[in-house]
Structure 1
Amino acid sequence: MTTAVTKKAEGTETKEGLALARDPWQSFGFPSLNRMRREFDEMLSRFFTDVPALWNAERGDGRWAFDVEDHPDAYLIKAEAPGFELKDFKVDVRGNQLVMQAKRSEKKKEKDKESFSATEYYHAMMIPPFVDTHKISANYKHGVLQLSLPKTEEGKGRNIPVNG
């Protein structure tokens, strides 16, 4: 890193030092506004990334875990969703997006105490090109929602032999 040096009547000082000397807040003993803003932005960033989501206790990050596999005839999506029932799911195709949702809620009443819990997963993803959207199917078994997105003939591609 190169630092430029400027001559002043009292001696030498870096450009960074001159910038700090021009900040009017420093004359009152306050840090520079730029530094305060940078520290505030870092604090907010840490808060929203390090604190677990309070609205979803089962998954602290609030995201739906899923895998996408590319098979020769179809894309296969597997989404973890333990504890749900078939009626809790809603899967839609909206234009070129696949929208997966799962919602469940539970009320418990024991003696004088009443509690309520809710879990909701939502994920929207772009449908890959060359998928036959009219043949997309969904299945829920053993806590895993599985979707099959069949490829069109063009999407399946063709094998090109390599000659030597």
Structure 2
Amino acid sequence: MRAFLTRLRHWSLGLHLLPSLLANAHHRKLLTEMRSLGQQLPTLLKQPLPRAMAELETMQVERPFPLPPETKTRQLADLAALLDRRSPLGLCLRRSLLRYRYLHELKVPVTVLFGAKFAPGETPDKKKIAGHAWLVLGERPYHEDDENWQGYTVMLRWPEAKK
């Protein structure tokens, strides 16, 4: 039920923001660019995750206009992830990777965390592993509801913490 309510909240927010985000021609073009990248993510992720993340960071796009400020860019990335319902990737992974790619271009120092936890299975004696991806900014979750990331063990950080 919680997952359904989270999804409903994302859709509600996405639909609420849609008119204001798409009123600007540059925003519409950027959303198209983001959706195209979102469709490339499953292929990109067929390689080891560190290599895929490095490639995602260095992708060059010739765009005749600058990215909008951080909040608009994040909202457009969220909308692009939300609209790609046919992707084999989960919403959290699509959203995190799109946010990361474009916020990285804006020089926002976010980190992607990839985590896992045991979740209830079909019967009490069987558990399944659930995965989640989210961003942090200065070790604080970046526009992420607490219930979405709490309880996950971080398996990988990108970029990796400097030693």
TM over 0.5: no
Choose between structure 1 and 2: higher helix proportion: 2
Please give the range of the TM-score, normalised by the shorter of the 2 chains. under 0.3
Higher strand share: 1
Greater relative contact order structure (CA < 8 Å, 6+ sep): 2
Rg larger in structure? 1
Q: TM (normalized to structure 1)? A: 0.23
